[in-house]
Structure 1
Amino acid sequence: MSEMNRKVPKRIAQTVINSLKGGVVPRIGLPYITVGRKNEIHALLHDVDIISEGGASFRFIVGRYGSGKSFLLQTIRNHVMDRAFIVADVDLSPERRLHGTRGQGLATYRELIGNLSTKTKPEGGALTLILDRWISSVQSQAANESGLTPGDPALTTLVDKKIYEVTSSLSELVHGFEFAKLLSAYYHAYVDGNDGIKLKVARWFRGEYSLKREAKEELGVNIIITDDDWYDYLKLFAIFFRLAGYSGMMIMIDELVNIFKIPNAITRQYNYEKILTMYNDTLQGKAKYLGIIMGATQQTIEDKRRGVYSYEALRSRLAEGKFSKPGARNLLAPVIRLEALNAEEMLILCEKLSIIHADLYEYTKKISTEDLAIFIKIEFERVGADLNITPREVIRDFIELLDLMYQNPNMSLNDLLASYEFSYTKSDAVSDNTVSIYTGFTV
């Protein structure tokens, strides 16, 4: 049964409608409203296959505000969680950057770790759940392989050995020794029922220790996660998650425009240098089981004075080739440029939303396909729509129409579309139903 024909649970429907009405992307329910982007999704899921085999990938998703960048990121987020990936996402802000002198880089790391999500815990905060399940799965595996029962000292020895195999394989990597030591400390605290130590280790992994002395006294490690090295720990986490039974790790960083907006040129360059490090690591095999996707506007990428292209090492790697053009974009390139949804795709999306809205508020849907086509025609024929119209704007307008029609049952779609704000005349709305109103549509 297709997503369009399935009734959406009210909890999910409410979240979808309220999120879209507020101009943000819902974190749940996306399969019910996904339209278009098939090629982009296919390209990104090809990356996922490579990551799960031990590779790494780096992509930029580029488009105007409201063009669907965040929607595509959330869609991929759901896809990869279904494939047993750990996902961490973050929106950059003035307080969260990739590099900073006042803890902005570490703030980004903390947000990423705080947002760790799995299929069974998609809302984030999954770090301790992942650690506990890893230990539990090792214990179960050891018991099944040996036939020993819980409480048997021989089983404890076998589990210790399996835990050591994981930690020792990490200890050879950069910062891996301390990382492995803390994993071991967490395991022993788990076995001993020492919740205090478990909490302290989790705090360390989340980057919440600010003094080396404090970490040394409480955990016996003379190192803490800092602005300079936080990305190294994400690479360690990616490998650990694989060893813990997951397919890999996907990091999603949106709102890259907040780096573009940094007034100080040197600070911007340091942030772009961090992007270059991530990019090189993924392409040169220095990172494993790790995918990185960043969302940005076209100006954020291409502006040669303040944007990513102001950093020559990135511009030379990311600049679009001579043959790529609108309608024939290279989706295997590092930068995926989002084309606008066409009128037919927008009509399908509005049809889905009208069904969800009617089910949510328990009324009989009265908007016909002809009504939808008229609405889409008006939106796409606005002055400047060919350059400026985005899915976000169309969706917000449409949900407003649905809300008003629900609250005013005697009001028709034509009445609402005849408002001054829509720059619309009623005579257009009641045009001959046999006339084609938009390329590809007849009513």
Structure 2
Amino acid sequence: MDGRKTESIGIINALRRGTVPASGLERLAVGLSVEEEVIGRQLDFAASGGADIKFVCGDYGSGKTFLVARALEIAREKTFVTAHVMISADTPLHKESALYYRILSSLRTAEHENALKEIVDDWIFAIEERIIEVEGVSEEDEALKTGTVERIEAALADISAVNPALAAALRVYYTANCAGDFPLAQAALGWLSGEPHVGRKFRQAAGVKGEVDEVSALVFLRGFMRIIRAAGYAGLAVAVDEVETVQALPSNLRAKGYGNLRQIVDAVDRGEMSHCYFLFTGTPAFFEGSKGIRSLPPLYDRLKIVGADDYANPLQAQIRLRPFDLQKLEEAALKVCEVYADAAAPVDRNRVSHRFMQGMIDRVTTGFGGRVDVIPRIFLREFVDVLDKCGLYPEYNPAAAYAFDREKVKGDLKEEEEAVLEVEF
């Protein structure tokens, strides 16, 4: 089975489940060419040694989740390591240590998910290869081990001047692997990622106390960037989703969260996060509401939109997404037909005609009181079901058989979709 067919099947399977596909998103993207181009330029700048950041503002149904997934896909195509963090009760914005843990535990490359170990191993392997090439030692020579430890420490010397624990954890990881003590090596990797409650044996071997905390989290992230780059990657792209959830917190925690956000923005602007790209998403209330970033004027001043008019400028701090409309939904349906043809078989356009698609969109939209913005996920799931039935049953006539049933989809709705459906139209 060729790669395109495998990708196509993956896309259709994800749509059947109502989720965002893991790859191939450019084949479904509608109306995002300008935003993709802006993000691509920012990633190129970060790859060249800079750092950049972008905020995506949009209501539910505007495509924030899709754009984030597409941005990270573009980043991996450009050989970035990526991470995707959802702000929640477990990962609040006011705890940098929690953000750090989620970033490192969700690292992904084009080849690997949960890629922390692969990245560290690639880095160490590159160090060993240089020593073997330059000094002519063999893989069994003790000098290789000694030299590798020295270079691990040297690569992070300036980080160690602030906090030596990062280099110590990597040293233990390497020496434990060399000794065949894989539980200790795994503990070192866990501690490095910010995992809480790592065992005493590791702490004694590394000579560290405590865990990655609020003071060390950003320092460690900068240090880990060295490893990512030395392992052969262009940089690190981090998407932080649903930052608007911070608005529900007490004012002191909200203020601390916004303070952390400002710290990241300022670190990027000061050039302290070389080869890093950050993408944050939030609702309009987060950017303009009384409990949003307006409550921290210095942060609001950095992120606000200037010269707001009908000509959106995604080069500013914010990309402002507009809700899905009927035209975009129809374009998406046509793209799904193309993908389906690659995944299974050509779509019978006599049964799934342009007229049928428009009628189906109208039925689903009417079921949600005309709210096109909240139905793309639901519509595409129903649409793939129609395509499946056309492929399975030659006698199936969707124009006569299809009817949108509000009651049947209720158990499968997200909170925002359910809120709309509960309204009596």
Q: TM-score range by the shorter chain?
A: 0.7 to 0.9
Report if aligned partners of 2:241, 2:281 keep a CA contact under 8 Å in 1: yes
1:398 corresponding residue in structure 2: 383
For residues 190 and 215 of structure 1, what CA distance do their matches in structure 2 show?
A: 13
Does residue 39 (structure 1) correspond to residue 34 (structure 2)? The answer is yes
1:52 corresponding residue in structure 2: 47
Q: Report the TM-score when normalising by structure 1.
A: 0.79
Does residue 74 (structure 1) correspond to residue 82 (structure 2)? The answer is no
- Distance apart, 1:117 and its partner CA: 0.9
1:428 corresponding residue in structure 2: none
- Counterpart of 2:275, as a letter, is Y
Identity of aligned residues (%): 24
2:106 corresponding residue in structure 1: 115
SS of equivalent residue, structure 1 residue 171? helix
Correspondence list, 1:205-284, <5 A: 205-210=192-197, 216-227=203-214, 229-262=216-249, 264-284=250-270
Does residue 126 (structure 1) correspond to residue 110 (structure 2)? The answer is no
Report if aligned partners of 2:58, 2:320 keep a CA contact under 8 Å in 1: yes
Report if aligned partners of 1:189, 1:198 keep a CA contact under 8 Å in 2: yes
Q: Report the TM-score when normalising by structure 2.
A: 0.82
- Superposed CA RMSD in Å reads 3.2
- Distance apart, 1:347 and its partner CA: 3.2
Does residue 9 (structure 1) correspond to residue 5 (structure 2)? The answer is yes
For residues 169 and 120 of structure 1, what CA distance do their matches in structure 2 show?
A: 31
Correspondence list, 1:16-415, <5 A: 16-99=11-94, 106-121=97-112, 123=113, 125-153=114-142, 155-156=144-145, 158-172=147-161, 174-175=162-163, 177-210=164-197, 216-227=203-214, 229-262=216-249, 264-303=250-289, 305-322=290-307, 324-326=308-310, 328-340=311-323, 343-357=326-340, 360=343, 362=345, 364-366=347-349, 367=351, 370-371=354-355, 374-375=358-359, 378=362, 385=370, 388=373, 391-403=376-388, 405-406=390-391, 409-415=394-400
Report if aligned partners of 1:58, 1:292 keep a CA contact under 8 Å in 2: yes
Would the alpha carbon gap of residues 249 and 364 (structure 1) be closer, same or farther in structure 2, given more than 3 Å must change? Answer: closer
- Distance apart, 1:316 and its partner CA: 1.7
For residues 347 and 313 of structure 2, what CA distance do their matches in structure 1 show?
A: 44
Report if aligned partners of 1:91, 1:254 keep a CA contact under 8 Å in 2: yes
- Distance apart, 1:31 and its partner CA: 3.4
Q: Which deviations, in whole Å up to 9, do the C-alpha atoms of 1:18-70 show, x marking residues without a partner?
A: 43344431222323323331111111111112212222112111112122111
- Distance apart, 1:381 and its partner CA: 8.4
Report if aligned partners of 2:94, 2:256 keep a CA contact under 8 Å in 1: yes
- Distance apart, 1:157 and its partner CA: 5.2
- Distance apart, 1:225 and its partner CA: 0.9
SS of equivalent residue, structure 2 residue 156? helix
Report if aligned partners of 1:56, 1:287 keep a CA contact under 8 Å in 2: yes
2:423 corresponding residue in structure 1: none
Report if aligned partners of 1:380, 1:389 keep a CA contact under 8 Å in 2: no
**Runs (5+) with no aligned partner, structure 2:** 407-425
- Counterpart of 1:134, as a letter, is W
For residues 420 and 162 of structure 1, what CA distance do their matches in structure 2 show?
A: 64
Aligned positions, number: 403
